[in-house]
Structure 1
Amino acid sequence: MRLKDLTAIDLFAGMGGMSEGARQAGIAVKWAGNHWPPAVEWHGVNHPDTIHACQDVTQADWRHVPGHDILLASPACQGHSPARGKEKPHHDALRSTAWAVVDAAAYHRPAAVVVENVKQFATKWVLYRAWCEAMHALGYALSPMLLNAADSGVPQERVRLFIVATRSQHPIALRLLKRDHVPASSFIDFGAGQWKPVVHSKRKAATLARVAAGRSRFGDRFLMPYYGSGSGLTGRCLSRPIGTITTVDRWAVVDGDRMRMLTKEEDRAAMGFRGTYQMPTNHKLAVHMLGNAVCPPQAHDVLQALSEVL
């Protein structure tokens, strides 16, 4: 099968990182589904040739979804991620979204399925083994891989689980390129954003302590997350990729005696989206969508390698 002939659908498509990676790999995304209207709206803006469905994907009637070669899916990760905090009743419903992948695959039997999630999807979800067995029962061999987006040239350290399922006797081994790491300095614009003095009456002592720790290690210019361990205590230099972009403002830029949070444009670049990729004007909404997205270059590399063996 030639690469240009490959088609895909995108479940839980969100802002469209997986779809964008597929587009860059020359794979046409025929259908995309998501339950959240803003996500569907902006996915549609950036992928106007794709059929869109704004619905609970777990309730989709697969008879109305076009046939395809590759099923792309990023089920809800909030029920698996340690960032969710204390276990809550709705987390079971979020974890159950992964079963929509099995339902879609059972109906369409595509040549391949690519699932992206946090690594805890495989290590903490008690039904992961049952999910794998269901995919095996459909004739799929599974190749789970932990991949860092930085290895795909994304200026961000973001480790995610990719499960590549193929209708083959044995799991496949993809030949993935390992690209040079791109530093955070590649997207930081010191002329943009809303800067504030580092020292002012409302600045918390913990924040000032983090700034001081960053200065002692990296000088006047560095990155600093507002919460979390690791870089949250020591800062992060601009010469390496930034840490994980989340669904809320997390990373601050420190420049001498001033500091600010990342702009949404910087978040977009940190996720590996092209500069012309459209996003909401509302900062909070854009950051939320970006933090939930798949990094397009990472999706591209996986799908490019997959296309070579299909």
Structure 2
Amino acid sequence: MDVIDLFSGAGGFSTGAALAGCNVVWAANHWPEAVEWHAKNHPDTQHLLQDLHQADWSLVPEHDLMLASPCCQGHSRARGKAHGNPQHDASRSTAWAVVSAAEYHQPQVAIVENVPEFLDWRLYRPWKLAMKALGYSVSPHVVDAADLGAPQNRVRMFLVLTKTKTPLVLDLPKMDHKPASSFIDFDAGNWSQIDKPGRAKATLERVRSGREAFGDRFLISYYGNTKTGRSLNRPIGTITTRDRWAIIDGGRMRMLSRFECRDAMSFPDTYQLPDNHRLAVHLMGNAVCPEPVKRIIQAVKEAA
């Protein structure tokens, strides 16, 4: 099965497709660093660095499956959804590139990933009607990555669009959850003392509450509204585009390494990352989890 990947980012969708036995023939993104690292990890794929509003779809290879992750920032509650905000409105508009690509190529199946709030977008109904006008049935699936093989609680929406008379409802497995302890290396990383001058009061409070609940080893969220610790015996919370999760080990602490972020996202341990920690974390936090994608595509193949 030949696949193209719109808004390919760091390559989570592409990697999941490859794990499912697909051939990723083409991938595109407007972010140079994302295209660079996608190309390092998928050297046999044709790459395009471009704003996909301006894409010439006649230059895109024929394919059986189209994958697309249009920008989610304009939909996410974490980033705000105010109408009239030019940045967020432009972000939401990227979803129309999926319609134009589908109109030209008419693949049998397309899978679109985004945050669940995509379904509340005030233009979702016109967008859905456009896809239906092209002959697609639209089937939304809201899934937690932890249920599909990733050691992370990450709730995302996958729209399965098929050239069928009725929507394709996938029979997805619900797997045993993998704990955060499965990928954390306590012998690696740059640790610092928790009790040091300048440590934020909110951080110390999170550590205190975590110790009461979980003992010496646990996770805390370094920002946000979470005021308690998080057990290492459950999946980690959502990996974001900047350092969020800190590991507590007795009197010391550190942030997740870029490789731990990669493992939490369920990328293979051979997946290459930049040496720049901030860039690597951004790429991972902006990606799609490959293991859930693999299982979604496998379910599509089985249902077809």
TM-score (norm 2): 0.98
Query: 1:235 corresponds to which letter in structure 2?
Result: G
Alignment of structure 1 residues 162-201 onto 2, 5 Å: 162-201=158-197
Could you give the per-residue CA deviations for residues 232-269 of structure 1, whole angstroms, max 9, x where no partner exists? 21110000000000000000000011111000010000
Picking from 39, 46, 54, the partner of 2:49 is 54
1:68 aligns with 2:92: no
Query: 1:261 corresponds to which letter in structure 2?
Result: M
Picking from 205, 208, 216, the partner of 2:201 is 205
CA distance in 1, matches of 2:57, 2:36: 21
Picking from 110, 115, 120, the partner of 1:113 is 110
Could you give the per-residue CA deviations for residues 132-161 of structure 1, whole angstroms, max 9, x where no partner exists? 010011010011010010011210000000
Aligned partners of 2:74 and 2:81 also within 8 Å: no
CA distance in 2, matches of 1:82, 1:61: 32
CA distance in 1, matches of 2:86, 2:209: 39
Picking from 10, 14, 27, the partner of 2:5 is 10
CA distance in 1, matches of 2:50, 2:86: 22
Query: 2:102 corresponds to which letter in structure 1?
Result: A
Match of 1:243 in 2: 237
> Offset at 1:204?
1.0
Match of 1:264 in 2: 258
Picking from 156, 159, 169, the partner of 1:160 is 156
Match of 2:303 in 1: 309
Secondary structure at the aligned position of 1:110 is classed as: coil
> Offset at 1:308?
1.8
Match of 2:144 in 1: 148
Q: In the superposition, relative to structure 1, how do residues 86 and 133 fare at CA in structure 2: closer, same or farther (>3 Å)?
A: closer
CA distance in 1, matches of 2:252, 2:159: 43
Runs of 5+ unmatched residues, structure 2: none
Aligned partners of 2:75 and 2:81 also within 8 Å: no
> Offset at 1:281?
0.8
What is the RMSD of the two structures over their aligned residues, measured on CA atoms?
0.9
Secondary structure at the aligned position of 1:272 is classed as: coil
Query: 2:110 corresponds to which letter in structure 1?
Result: V
1:226 aligns with 2:197: no
> Offset at 1:228?
2.0
Picking from 67, 77, 80, the partner of 2:75 is 80
Query: 1:83 corresponds to which letter in structure 2?
Result: A
> Offset at 1:195?
0.6
> Offset at 1:178?
1.6
Picking from 275, 284, 290, the partner of 1:281 is 275
Q: Which ranges of 4 or more aligned residues in structure 1 deviate by more than 6 Å? A: none
> Offset at 1:93?
0.5
Match of 1:93 in 2: 90
Match of 2:132 in 1: 136
Runs of 5+ unmatched residues, structure 1: 1-5
CA distance in 1, matches of 2:137, 2:198: 55
CA distance in 1, matches of 2:110, 2:132: 12
> Offset at 1:206?
1.0
> Offset at 1:86?
7.1
Secondary structure at the aligned position of 1:143 is classed as: strand
> Offset at 1:192?
1.0
